[in-house]
Structure 1
Amino acid sequence: MPKINLLLAEDEPALGQIVKESLETRDFIVTLCPDGEIAFEKFKQNTPDILVLDVMMPKMDGFTLAKEVRAINDEIPIIFLTAKSQPADVVEGFSIGGNDYLKKPFSMEELIVRIKNLLNRSAQQKKSEVLKVGDYSFDFPRQELHYNNDVTRLTHREAHLLFNLVKNKNQVLDRSLILKKLWGNDDFFNARSMDVFITKLRKKLKEDPKVEIVNVRGYGYKLLC
């Protein structure tokens, strides 16, 4: 089994180190960050499998960090750690994209169970993610396009770009947003790279004339099907 890559944001040094070391003895790879700003930079450098975020942190709190993460990645599981116990705080955590909420003090066993449950749920959702694109079937987890009896393999980035287009089909997919989400930033060179990937996807979808990826000048791309 591959190790789980986990990003932990916790400003209490003693607690952070205890959680880190406990998870590492159970074959996790843990990146420990003392505040939200550092955690967000680490997240952009190397996307982990799951985030465990303390709510009360200096520079950038856990809720704000989660909002920043969700702006570029709406799939990664997020668990909040907090001493807060008010229902309104719990509601806020879920409303901004959190998947689970663990109140301090907590046991390591409970944290690990919640982490594995979220990752298993995420894996099951991806396994069932076969989407229709006109007459094509798009198997996102396998990164395959099926048309009649033909199967076309997609690269990792092609698959994620097409996934986002399909999820927003017949709507404009914001160019800047998708560049930040898949490429890390929206500079000129990444924008040209995305144009190349769009051209590749058009070629792989050309068998069905009802499927079209159009350029909406100044905004982004739209998948019509």
Structure 2
Amino acid sequence: MPENKGLVLVVEDEPHIAELQRRYLAREGFGVHVEADGDGALTAVRRMRPVAIVLDIALPGMDGMEVCRRLREDGDWTPVVFVTARDEVTDRILGLELGADDYLTKPFSPHELVARVKSLLRRAAGPERETVRRVGRLALDTGRRTLRVDDCPVELTTTEFNLLAELMRHPGQVFSRDQLLARVWGYVGYRDTRMIDVYVSQLRAKLGDASPIRTVRGVGYGVADTGR
């Protein structure tokens, strides 16, 4: 048996899909708990403290987006992978804006789900050695995974943190969206690069006028080389 890698909460109201997700995640050494609705999901998160949540959007009663919104409002930044049967760009963008870390569109391979969860947890773990990176008014601690702006803490999702950390590691360098997807998410040749724009927008909103992220039209994004 593989070593236990922590508990994953699967929130899915279709039993056969939930069982398929449970089986494949369990094979990889994850403990798995399944809930079929939003209320049960919130209770399970608070009681069990999972390492990640696989969250269907279309749930009876409280939908997955509302579950995610409430978790983030409560200061719970457990990594969330949204699962949706809808391939609408607006749905995906809204999910990311609510604080989701990744998403999958049905139908998808259970192998891909497992790979996404494992990749997300690797990114959430971050580097073992504690390193503080400073750019302008930002101090990013990659060991403790905290961000301070003018010595005030700013809460980031796992993916927001990893994107900002990657940009701050290379001040003055500009990355294309494809490069950022490969470096931060591990996706190569991914067809939808607009998720980068959503996360950059989210970071800018949280950082306000302290944001060092700049846009180079026709190229991509970088961080101004303003370290002190």
* Same fold, TM-score > 0.5, yes or no: yes
Distance 1:169 1:88, change over 3 A: same
TM-score normalized by structure 2? 0.57
Which residue of the partner structure matches residue 27 of structure 1? 29
Using the TM superposition, give the Cα deviation of residue 108 of structure 1 relative to its aligned residue in structure 2, in angstroms: 1.1
Q: Which runs of 5+ in 1 are unaligned?
A: 133-137, 143-159, 172-225
Matched, 1:110 2:109: no
Using the TM superposition, give the Cα deviation of residue 51 of structure 1 relative to its aligned residue in structure 2, in angstroms: 0.7
Which residue of the partner structure matches residue 53 of structure 1? 55
Distance 1:58 1:43, change over 3 A: same
Which residue of the partner structure matches residue 78 of structure 1? 80
* Separation of aligned partners in 2, 1:81 and 1:125: 28
* Separation of aligned partners in 2, 1:34 and 1:126: 36
Which residue of the partner structure matches residue 39 of structure 1? 41
Q: Structure 2 residue aligned with 1:95, among 94, 97, 104?
A: 97
* Separation of aligned partners in 2, 1:39 and 1:45: 10
The root-mean-square deviation of aligned C-alpha atoms, in Å, is: 3.1
1:81-105 deviations in Å (ceiling 9; x for gaps): 1101111011101110011110001
Q: Structure 1 residue aligned with 2:124, among 84, 106, 122?
A: 122
SS at match of 2:59: coil
Using the TM superposition, give the Cα deviation of residue 33 of structure 1 relative to its aligned residue in structure 2, in angstroms: 0.1
Runs (4+) of structure 1 exceeding 6 A deviation are none
Q: Which sits farther off after the overlay, 44-53 or 68-77?
A: 68-77
Percent identity for Structure 1 against Structure 2: 32
Using the TM superposition, give the Cα deviation of residue 169 of structure 1 relative to its aligned residue in structure 2, in angstroms: 4.0
Using the TM superposition, give the Cα deviation of residue 26 of structure 1 relative to its aligned residue in structure 2, in angstroms: 2.1
Distance 1:129 1:11, change over 3 A: farther
Question: Highest Rg: 1 or 2?
Answer: 1
Using the TM superposition, give the Cα deviation of residue 21 of structure 1 relative to its aligned residue in structure 2, in angstroms: 1.9
- Aligned counterparts, 1:127-166, within 5 A: 128=130, 130=132, 141=143
Q: Which runs of 5+ in 2 are unaligned?
A: 135-139, 154-228
Matched, 1:69 2:71: yes
Number of residues of Structure 1 aligned to a counterpart in Structure 2: 149
SS at match of 2:126: helix
Which residue of the partner structure matches residue 13 of structure 1? 15
Distance 1:5 1:127, change over 3 A: farther
Using the TM superposition, give the Cα deviation of residue 4 of structure 1 relative to its aligned residue in structure 2, in angstroms: 2.6
Distance 1:75 1:59, change over 3 A: same
* Separation of aligned partners in 2, 1:36 and 1:5: 18
Letter in 1 for 2:53: L
* Separation of aligned partners in 2, 1:124 and 1:22: 25
Letter in 2 for 1:66: C
Letter in 1 for 2:81: I
* Separation of aligned partners in 1, 2:127 and 2:149: 14
1:100-140 deviations in Å (ceiling 9; x for gaps): 110001111111111111111111167556489xxxxx988
